[in-house]
Structure 1
Amino acid sequence: MERNHFSHRHKLKPISSKKPYFCSGCKEPGFERRHRCELCDYDLHKDCMDPHRDETVRHKFFTNSTFRFLSEPPENWPRQKRQRYCYACGKPVKGFFYHDEDGRDLHPSCHKLPSELSVDGVDFTLCDKVLSTCLWCNKKKRARTVSGIRGWSYVSKTKDKERHFHVSCLTELALEAWGKEADNDNELGSALKNVKLPGQRLIGFRISGKKVVKIAKFGLKQIGALL
């Protein structure tokens, strides 16, 4: 059923996508389900279509803080505070975001990151620190992030060793791996269902130790700085 949204003049229709898209609300990538205005090429993923707009919310990593949804920085904020960065991924906040009383910000998609994900049969748990080298970028510190923000990662303990992904790198990996099989509410996890861990095949792209030979054109051209 088509619905109104405060950010757009036309009604938005729920659809399922066979390719990643760029959310017009938070300016971040989305997967599978979205609400769309075909006339304006305007898309919102679920977290931006149905935000906690009139209430405060919490996050398990910040138990003593409450977040409120903002579509843009308030006009009375000082200029130096109007440029925001996501506390989870370290990337700039360019659209909708959640803000707490301690000055922390989260992309809506980062606020809703699943606590657990499975990649190539290995279970990963969301962690509020970056503990080791990322399997995707082969670095501990994520490139193009703010030095004062540590960021989060997904960590897995296997019999042989721990494995780590920056949350933003895992989104890039999901963009590479996207297929037509995504069909559940955990959209990021669904997009990752065909991924193979480094050293194996990754949806037609060869992984060789440190990096993928071919980078997703969608990620480079339309997203730039990803989640």
Structure 2
Amino acid sequence: KSRTFLSNRSPSTSTLMDISTTPHSITGQEIVHFSHPQHSITGQEIVHFSHPQHHLVQVTFPYIFTCIGCKEYGAGKRFKCNSCDLDLHDFCALAPPSIQRHPFHSHHQLVFFTKQGNGFLRSRCDICAKATRGYVFRCSQCNFEMHPSCAKLSQEMSFPIHQHVLNLLPMTTLVNSSESSFVCGECKRKRLGRVYACKVCDYHLHAVCAKGMINGLYDNGIKPPENQSMLGAAAKIASHVIMGFIGGLIEGIGEGVGEVLVENIGRGNSGNGRTI
């Protein structure tokens, strides 16, 4: 028998709160776990401020989805509205109002925001370098921000794709990282964003690829979709070569179109006979 968890935070404000982090692991290494001593789940249903008109049910399906919170992809476990066919990452649904002493930004508090600002420029995650288009943890003092999925990563981690522990390399600018010699062992590419490295062998892993093991894509055999649309790809080139702020705007439009296509294709591949 399922029970209901009520998330009563306002969708337009963020309440400051001390949240302690406890160990959680992929293969035994410590990462950040979102703990909720005052808002704990006691069953399989929640009422969430992002979709208060219906209960969200915790389910697990192998197909890809786009989270209504952070606007990023996921697969496997999620909270779902059966009536509206909407999905929310479990870590987005249960994100704390703030995080103290996160290993990526330990000197300032990170506050959970549900909406992006009204500025023309599109912000980017300081960990994976992808656009932030929904839920985000942000530092009000220095403008550091990251996706909820990136907040689940840590400085030192063990991943199922490599036999050794990987460590996050020191921070570099996005411009310099695009010119680095690091080729990711997972996607076989060079790209923007933070990079994990192995101290034993010459293996590197992009943070954006690492979080595929956080959001369920890896566990369900799904490669993170790339170049969701021609418009999005063209915008990325424009953002690097011509004008970043124009590229960011166009890229957001292109990604939105691409997400619908990717999600529909993923569901089609999983079969048409599924029930909830």
- Structure 1 length-normalised TM: 0.65
Give aligned-pair identity as a percent.
Answer: 26
Post-superposition Cα deviations, 1:92-140, rounded to whole Å, max 9, x if no partner, equal 0011000002101100000112541323451342404467222244444
Task: Tell me the residue number matched to 1:3.
Answer: 46
Is the aligned partner of 1:35 residue 2:72?
no
Superposition deviation, residue 60 in structure 1: 0.7
| Structure 1 stretch displaced more, 29-38 or 92-101 | 29-38
State how far apart, in whole Å, the 1-side matches of 2:157 and 2:75 are.
Answer: 17
Over 3 Å counting, the alpha-carbon distance change for 1:121 and 1:127 in structure 2 is closer
The answer to whether the 8 A contact 2:159-2:165 is kept is yes
The answer to whether the 8 A contact 2:128-2:194 is kept is yes
Coordinate RMSD, CA, aligned: 3.1
Which segments of 5 or more consecutive residues in structure 1 lack a partner in the other structure? 146-150, 175-185, 193-202, 204-214
Structure holding more helix per residue: 2
Over 3 Å counting, the alpha-carbon distance change for 1:169 and 1:74 in structure 2 is closer
Q: How many residues align?
A: 176
Task: Tell me the residue number matched to 1:119.
Answer: 160
Post-superposition Cα deviations, 1:149-207, rounded to whole Å, max 9, x if no partner, equal xx22222233xx320011213456x6xxxxxxxxxxx6659728xxxxxxxxxx7xxxx
The answer to whether the 8 A contact 2:70-2:134 is kept is yes
The answer to whether the 8 A contact 1:155-1:165 is kept is yes
Task: Tell me the residue number matched to 2:196.
Answer: 154
Over 3 Å counting, the alpha-carbon distance change for 1:89 and 1:18 in structure 2 is same
State how far apart, in whole Å, the 1-side matches of 2:104 and 2:130 are.
Answer: 18
Rg bigger for which structure? 2
Matching residue within 99, 104, 107 for 2:138: 99
Which segments of 5 or more consecutive residues in structure 2 lack a partner in the other structure? 1-43, 171-176, 229-257, 262-276
The answer to whether the 8 A contact 2:116-2:134 is kept is no
Structure holding more strand per residue: 1
- Structure 2 length-normalised TM: 0.55
Q: Which amino acid aligns with 1:165?
A: L
Q: Where in structure 2 are the equivalents of 1:103-182 lying within 5 Å? A: 103-113=143-153, 115-129=156-170, 132-140=182-190, 142=191, 145=192, 151-158=193-200, 161-171=201-211
Q: Which amino acid aligns with 2:132?
A: V
The answer to whether the 8 A contact 2:128-2:207 is kept is yes
Over 3 Å counting, the alpha-carbon distance change for 1:6 and 1:126 in structure 2 is farther
| Structure 1 stretch displaced more, 118-127 or 66-75 | 118-127
